[in-house]
């Protein structure tokens, strides 16, 4: 099966925001976010809610310099405040189409993310949300896409976007 390209799919996204913390998975999350932005042919904005220090800036710049797609437009923003509020406002102010967040997977198969901030953001932001539960330094083909199928006004759009992503990433399974 040929790998789908972004040329044969309708463009659903133009800007991606990756909200990050300085966690042990920071590097792999940024590498995954840049690959996704490249696949979607989107601008990527990295947002840290916290103080900008020379050490933090150096760490981010080092990671960004190690990405596969050096021509990808990437902006790095620093804002202080409540993470939930700052990220929600940034999604609105920056016209974000897709918010990417790193997440930890619970042992329970159907409970995919940990953390009250991620949980609240998935319910509050005005854009699609992608939770990275198994980021990798080298690209690992996606096998499975999971989408929330609860009875809500945006569910049909969410399912359509899940099929778009699964096609783009070559995933063979979707769970709704």
pTM for this one?
Answer: 0.79
DSSP strands (E only) in the chain? 15-20, 43-49, 74-79, 98-102, 128-132, 144-146, 173-175
Q: Taking residues 13-29, what's their average pLDDT?
A: 90
Q: Taking residues 146-164, what's their average pLDDT?
A: 79
Most confident of the ranges 14-23, 88-97, 159-168: 88-97
From CA 14, how far away is CA 138, in angstroms rounded? 24
Domains assigned to the chain: 12-140 (3.40.50.620), 141-176 (no CATH)
Q: Give yes or no for a contact between 157 and 127, defined as CB atoms under 8 angstroms apart.
A: no
Q: And the tokens for 22?
A: 């300085």
**Burial grade of 40 (CB within 10 A; 0-12, 13-18, 19 or more):** buried
Count of all residues that appear for the chain in the document: 176
Q: Please say if the pLDDT value at position 64 is more than 60.
A: yes
């Amino acid at each position: 099966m040929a790998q789908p390209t972004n040329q044969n799919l309708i463009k659903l996204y133009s800007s991606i925001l990756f909200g990050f913390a300085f966690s042990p998975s920071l590097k792999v999350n940024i590498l995954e976010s840049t690959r996704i932005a490249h696949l979607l042919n989107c601008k990527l904005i990295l947002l840290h809610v916290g103080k900008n220090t020379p050490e933090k800036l150096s760490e981010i710049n080092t990671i960004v310099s190690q990405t596969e797609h050096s021509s990808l437009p990437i902006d790095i923003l620093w804002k202080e405040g409540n993470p939930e509020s700052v990220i929600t406002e940034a999604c609105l102010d920056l016209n974000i189409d897709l918010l990417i967040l790193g997440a930890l997977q619970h042992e329970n198969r159907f409970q995919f993310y940990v953390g009250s901030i991620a949980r609240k953001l998935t319910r509050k932001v005005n854009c699609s949300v992608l939770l990275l539960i198994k980021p990798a330094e080298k690209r690992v083909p996606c096998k499975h896409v999971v989408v929330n199928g609860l009875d809500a006004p945006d569910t049909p759009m969410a399912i359509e976007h899940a099929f778009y992503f699964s096609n783009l990433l070559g995933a063979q399974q979707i769970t709704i």
